[in-house]
Amino acid sequence: MDRTEANSGTRAVNDKLAFDVAALEAWMSANIPSFTGPLDVTQFKGGQSNPTYRLDTLGRAYVLRRKPPGALLPGAHAVEREARVMSALGPTGFPVPHIHGLCEDPAVIGTPFFVMDLVEGRIIWEAAFPGLAPAERAAHFAAMNATIAQLHGIDPAAVGLADYGRPAGFVERQVARWSKQYLADTAAGRLPQMDALVDWLGTHLPPDRGDVSVVHGDFRCDNMIFAAAEPRILAVLDWELSTLGDPLADFVYHLLMYRMPAGMFTGLAGLDLAALGIPSEADYVAAYCRRTARDHLPDLDYLMVFVMFRLAGILHGIKGRVARGTASSSHAAAMASQLEPLADLALAQARNARLPVA
């Protein structure tokens, strides 16, 4: 699958994800002072979980993000949390779109939603940053590294997010949550590799370090909007998985690109990174540690298996939505087809993991 072609731009709204545009116009007129109708609504091609729409008026454009219709897994598709965290982070100078309003009343368009600014810029769908010169790639990687370090340096209590999650025992709870979600989604079926990972992660759980920050949960190059002609991040998108938790687990998820083969998601494994101008995994880790005043990154191997399993769990959920007919993206089935290769890769990482001696 050509991820850039599959995800870039908009298309006509999927019939299963259509809604009453007049009802939305009425809500926006009552709740967003800058709004003047009428609206033209299209659907972004990307967005595997929460359907996302472009709203065009004569004077400006907005983005609407909503919960999908139909049966949903408990705790999933939390657009309310996305709106809250972006509203809290924006005043700190962290790059997020401005939130114009949140509607939790499903009577308006069928499910809760929020409306935010449309940020103009570039979304780069491949971690190799195709088409850039080596020096430009290096600068873009530095921008990503600095941005995730900036996020992890924000005091949650200072921005009103002290109750945004239960920070204690974050990794243990995440392992339990994703294991439970995997086991509960009977529509997607079971995989022996995933069953083995559930057992391995529970058996080798490291001690809780008590390190807490706001975590994004899905920090990848394709969840960022870069300035049109410079290595500057204008907005970080897709906060559905955000919470309070272990910043190192959040960073290792971002680091996952180094372990994924080229062609699988945003993978870099097997590429000549030096020739491309991309820092090595070790250098990228060292840069993050410098920016966050750490001397090393503990539990890297365990966290890498965990984040691979969690991503496989996300794909398992997409597979389930395809089976139930509630998938929001037209290429959801292609995404779900990568579940088994990723589970294989995660299990190989587990078998090769270097763990502390008890």
Q: Which residues pair with 157 in a beta bridge?
A: none
pLDDT, tens digit, for every residue of 286-333? Answer: 999 999 999 999 999 999 999 999 999 989 988 988 888 877 666 778
Cα distances (angstroms) measured from residue 120 to each of 9, 123, 186, 223, 225: 12, 9, 40, 14, 8
| pLDDT number for residue 323 | 83
**pTM to 2 decimals?**
0.89
Mean pLDDT score, 168-187: 92
> What are the chain's domains?
3-117 (3.30.200.20), 134-351 (3.90.1200.10)
Q: Where are the beta strands (DSSP E) in 212-352?
A: 213-215, 224-226, 233-236, 243-245
Mean pLDDT score, 53-57: 96
For the chain, the farthest-separated pair of C-alpha atoms sits apart, in whole angstroms, at: 64
Mean pLDDT score, 73-78: 66
Where do we find the tokens 């924000």?
154
Mean pLDDT score, 170-175: 94
Distance CA 46, CA 5 (A): 10
Task: Check: CB of residue 259 under 8 Å from CB of residue 345.
Answer: yes
Q: Which residues pair with 44 in a beta bridge?
A: 10
| pLDDT number for residue 205 | 95
| pLDDT number for residue 262 | 80
Where do we find the tokens 């509960």?
184
Q: Over pLDDT 90: what percentage of the chain?
A: 78
pLDDT, tens digit, for every residue of 91-111? Answer: 999 999 999 999 999 999 999
Q: Count Cα atoms within 13 angstroms, Cβ side, for 33.
A: 0
| pLDDT number for residue 103 | 97
Please state the separation of Cα 38 from the chain's center in Å: 31
Task: Check: CB of residue 45 under 8 Å from CB of residue 9.
Answer: yes
Average pLDDT in the chain: 91
Mean pLDDT score, 270-292: 97
Cα distances (angstroms) measured from residue 269 to each of 145, 149, 222: 18, 23, 17
Query: Which H or E element spans position 235?
Result: strand 233-236
Distance CA 37, CA 57 (A): 6
Cα distances (angstroms) measured from residue 305 to each of 198, 279, 350: 10, 22, 6
Q: Is the pLDDT of residue 123 over 60?
A: yes
CB atoms within 10 A of CB 235: 22
Q: Is the pLDDT of residue 280 over 90?
A: yes
Task: Check: CB of residue 103 under 8 Å from CB of residue 31.
Answer: yes
Distance CA 163, CA 2 (A): 40
Closest CA to 159 of 226, 223, 229, 242: 242
7-11, 107-111, 264-268, 333-337, range with the lowest pLDDT: 7-11
Task: Check: CB of residue 271 under 8 Å from CB of residue 262.
Answer: yes
| pLDDT number for residue 93 | 97
**Range list of H helices, 204-299:** 247-255, 273-276, 281-291
Q: Is the pLDDT of residue 358 over 60?
A: no
Q: At what angle do helices 339-351 and 192-203 cross, to 10 degrees?
A: 40
